Structure 1
Amino acid sequence: MAPVQSSSPHSSDWLVGNPTRIQQWAALWIGSAGLQILGLQPILLGALYSEKRVNFDELALIATAEFITIALGSVIAGMLISTRHLRIKSAVLLAALAVLDFAVSYATTPNELLLVRSLAGFVEGGTVAISIELIARSRHAERLGGFFISLQTLAQCILAAILALWVVPAMGSSGGFHVLAIVCLGSLAISALVPGEYGELPKQPSNMDGVFSVRAILALLVIFTFFLFIGSLWAFLEPLGALYAIDAQTVGLLVSASLAFQVLGAVCATWIDRHLDYRLSIILCVLAAIAASAILADHPSISMFWAAALVIAFLWMFITPYQIGLAVVADSSRSTALLIPAAQILGAALGPLAASVFITNDNVGIVPWFGIGALLCSLGLFGMFLMFSRRRAITV
């Protein structure tokens, strides 16, 4: 099977290779299929809790463990697994994930569920690497990243409605995980359309870039701290609603609506990525997130609570393509871009844990202030990144 790259001049859209449009969408779908759990976890783990298969602490542990292993899996796959024989690797990852999704039905104890979902996280991280490796090779990584998050979020939105309205009420948590397994098995046909290989990224031995450069580390910390804010606010959204006398059903409806706003954010970012500089976009997003957090901290009305939460949902996906642009500018070798999912998911996973340190007497009113602190850290780190970038431009 012919590899994607050739000895002929490469397309102006790609650093290496020239995948067809179908190959691009196929590769983006592999990671999207693996990341469906991110949008569906509240429904699926909530069903496990309702069925008394796990208690609240066990649910939180399973959710956090799967997030962390997704991040680790994406790093391990991106750094250690070659980008050859991608069709076979995509198929193996999807098949393994389907088996693990089906295995949830046979897990009889919380520890077994923890093991199954942790292993699933590693595999899901591997599927993400298939997509991120493609994005890293595009000269328009921000735009392709926008397509990636638009695809996965739209699929999550559709599946969330199907699971919440029909599957989980009729077949419980096992039925929900079976749907995920069926999605993976159905995606095996798409794995045949993935590029056979991506080709090695061009080596640039004369530059000072790389994952361990100051700029790359600062870029990853900017992303990590922003997602500390996302994870903390989203995990405590229902308790925050209860604090302001907003019932759980209303907050649940808000979470469903937020998926649509995440899709909107992803689509808008993809549409306008060429017209908005990544620096301006990141600063505006952080400032808007601070404003939304301040609203949530100030005993908002129901309408203001909804508005703030939907703004956060929109920013969640809108900022991602520009974070990809940040990573590409930080490290022209594109190695840092491969670590973006790890930085985002680790931030989202550790956000609730970090915020909980400041909660006393179950008063979650401190959480929006923690979010503001995380955002100010992100903004400060971004300022440091810009200063280092300017200093390097002057000295080069």
Structure 2
Amino acid sequence: MTATANAPALDAAVVQAPAAQAPDRLWLYALLALVATAGFFYVNIMSAIVDGLITGLGFSNAQAGTVGAANIYGASVGSFVAVLLVRRVRWRPTLFALLSLLLLLDLGSLAIHAAGPLTAMRALHGLVGGMAVGVVYSVMARTHSPDRAFGMLLLLQFGLGGLGVMFLPTLVPEFGARILFLALAALTACALVAIFAIPHLADARPATDGAVAQRMSTTARNTAVLALLALFLFQAGNMALSAFIIRLGEHYELGRGFIGQALGWATWVGAAGAGLVIFMGTRFGRLRPMLVAMLLTLAGTAGFFWSGSQPVFFIANVGTAVTWSFVVPYLFGMLSRLDLSGRLATLGGFMSKLGLASGPMAAGLLLHDDDFPLLIAAAIVALALSGVAMLAAARRIDRLEPRT
């Protein structure tokens, strides 16, 4: 299918499939997702990490939030470095080296108990992890269906994240904060093994990388800017609440046991959003599904104002988890279709991590007086602005891309 004569041209990448790409295999997407997840799994269990640093090491809200933010800001820098490297390195040996270093940094974090040194260590961890994730993103962007590939990524992250937020907070009082870093190290070790199971076909690069980059139109660049802005705001708004969701529940006098169970089950149910992306692909376009998802996101986030009610707290977590895992794959899919080389998707990883880091940092400052209603309101504003940008970008791409 080609563009209509009166439609504004975006770029050949939007309507054409890459000439050399990995086949549409779910097991391949799962392996790539595992490797990518290892690079920033701390994001998926951020609430457990922040709470563990507070309860296990006696950090303040601001200190714990800063450690988490440093980890993700480091990943943002790493992702930006990856943007410059992905066309110049062989992904398999590069990933093996980066993940090996990542494993050492996780194990090294076990011996640190002061906020300053731990912040520095986690910033370095984020830098290495961000580079690793950026390299994997460039491979995922060149698969047959990037939306489904990134959907598998979110499915795995939410599935493992559910286990993390359900069980890790209950283990911290007994084993201390070190259990958090041991969990991260274990996943990294699994990813190192997974690297060698990924077929060489995934190494293929489109021969037209340079040509695609050169002929990207002004409209395509503007569309990419909208998608990148939407990704930043969406991640920042969601992570601002997610990083402190355990503290939010306790603020509204919910029991710690209930909070852990609610977050675990909500995260697992939330994986259904990524499952829908894998099932649907782009057969219904992106505009309408993302519009519904953003309306549910705003409603679910507003529900946290009534977190004193256990059912409302649980439903709000479920709703926002489903839409979180649903929207992000589509945003990365849009970026992948705008640039077949995978470089734009890697840049999306940078903006995503920048948003994920900015959320906890801003939240830690807003919660100086435990003003959770203010935090919820700020998150709603960020998500609403994100919705405007992503829907504008989705509308442009939907006008030209065939439904798959």
Same fold (TM over 0.5): yes
Report the residue type matching 2:70 in the other structure.
Answer: A
- Structure 1 residues 211 and 186, CA gap change in structure 2 (3 angstroms): farther
Alignment equivalent of 2:47, drawn from 36, 42, 48: 42
| Counterpart for residue 111 of structure 2 | 106
CA separation in 2, counterparts of 1:162 and 1:248?
12
Shift of 1:307: 1.0
Aligned length: 381
Q: For residue 148 of structure 2, what is the aligned residue in structure 1?
A: 143
The answer to whether the aligner puts 1:207 opposite 2:207 as a matched pair is: no
Give the residue type in structure 2 aligned to 1:133.
S
Instruction: Answer yes or no: is 1:191 the counterpart of 2:195.
Output: yes
Contact 1:215 1:385 in 2 (8 A): yes
Q: State the SS of the aligned residue for 1:321.
A: helix
2:63 maps to: 58
Instruction: Tell me what 2:354 maps to.
Output: 346
Query: Does 112-121 or 168-177 show the bigger shift?
Result: 168-177
Does residue 260 of the first structure (1) align with residue 268 of the second (2)?
Answer: yes
Q: Is the 8 A contact 2:47 2:242 kept in 1?
A: no
Contact 1:258/1:309 (<8 A) preserved:
yes
Which stretch has the larger CA shift, 100-109 or 231-240? 231-240
Q: Secondary structure at the match of 1:155?
A: helix
C-alpha separation between the residues in 1 aligned to 2:366 and 2:192?
45
CA pair 353-158 structure 1, distance change in 2 beyond 3 A: closer
**Higher relative contact order (Cα pairs below 8 Å, separated by 6+ residues):** 2
After TM superposition, the structure 1 = structure 2 runs for residues 75-94 of structure 1, keeping only pairs within 5 Å, are 75-82=80-87, 84-94=89-99
Deviation (angstroms), 1:80? 2.0
TM superposition shift of 1:117:
0.9
TM-aligned CA deviation for residue 320 of structure 1: 1.7
Question: For residues 132-159 of structure 1, what are the alpha-carbon distances to aligned partners after superposition, in whole Å with 9 as ceiling and x for unaligned?
Answer: 1122112311011111222233233345
Task: Tell me how far apart the structure 1 counterparts of residues 213 and 190 of structure 2 sit (CA, whole Å).
Answer: 42
Q: Provide the secondary structure at the position in 2 that maps to 1:187.
A: helix
CA deviation string 1:48-100 (max 9, x = no partner): 33233633322111100101111221221232244643332222112111100
In the TM superposition, 1:185-334 aligns within 5 A as 185-195=189-199, 197-200=203-206, 202=208, 203-204=211-212, 207-209=215-217, 213-297=221-305, 301-331=309-339, 334=342
Q: Which amino acid aligns with 2:266?
A: S
Q: Is the 8 A contact 1:15 1:138 kept in 2?
A: no
Say if 1:136 and 1:53 are closer, same or farther in 2 by CA, change over 3 A. Answer: same
Q: Which amino acid aligns with 2:348?
A: I
Aligned identity (percent) is: 22
Contact persistence 1:281–1:322 (CA under 8 A): no
**Which residue type is aligned with residue 343 of structure 1?**
M
Alpha-carbon separation, structure 1, partners of 2:253 and 2:68: 26
1:67 to 67, 72, 76: 72
Query: Deviations along 1:168-189, whole A, 9 cap, x unmatched?
Result: 4553322432343233234333
1:306 Cα deviation after fit: 1.7
Give the structure 2 partner of residue 369 of structure 1: 377
Question: How many Å separate the matches in 2 of 1:94 and 1:25?
Answer: 17
CA contact (8 A) 1:141 1:324 kept: yes
Distance in 2, Cα, partners of 1:185 & 1:206: 39
When structure 1 is superposed on structure 2, of 38-47 and 221-230 the one drifting more is 38-47
Out of 172, 176, 180, the residue aligned to residue 172 of structure 1 is 176
Q: 1:359 offset after TM fit, Å?
A: 6.4
The 1:357–1:140 alpha-carbon spacing in structure 2 relative to 1, beyond 3 Å, is same
In the alignment, the residues of structure 2 paired with residue 109 and residue 358 of structure 1 have an alpha-carbon distance, to the nearest angstrom, of 23
State the AA in 1 paired with 2:176. Answer: G
Query: Are residues 1:155 and 2:160 paired?
Result: yes
Q: TM-score, normalised by structure 1?
A: 0.83
Q: Distance in 1 between matches of 2:385 and 2:292?
A: 15
SS in 2 for 1:276: coil
Native 8 Å contact 1:210 1:216 kept in 2: no
Which amino acid counterpart does residue 285 of structure 2 have in structure 1?
D
Assess if the C-alpha contact under 8 Å between 2:54 and 2:64 holds in 1: yes
RMSD between superposed Cα atoms in Å:
3.3
Contact 1:297 1:366 in 2 (8 A): no
What is the CA distance between 1:230 and its match in structure 2?
0.4
Give the TM-score, by structure 2 length: 0.81
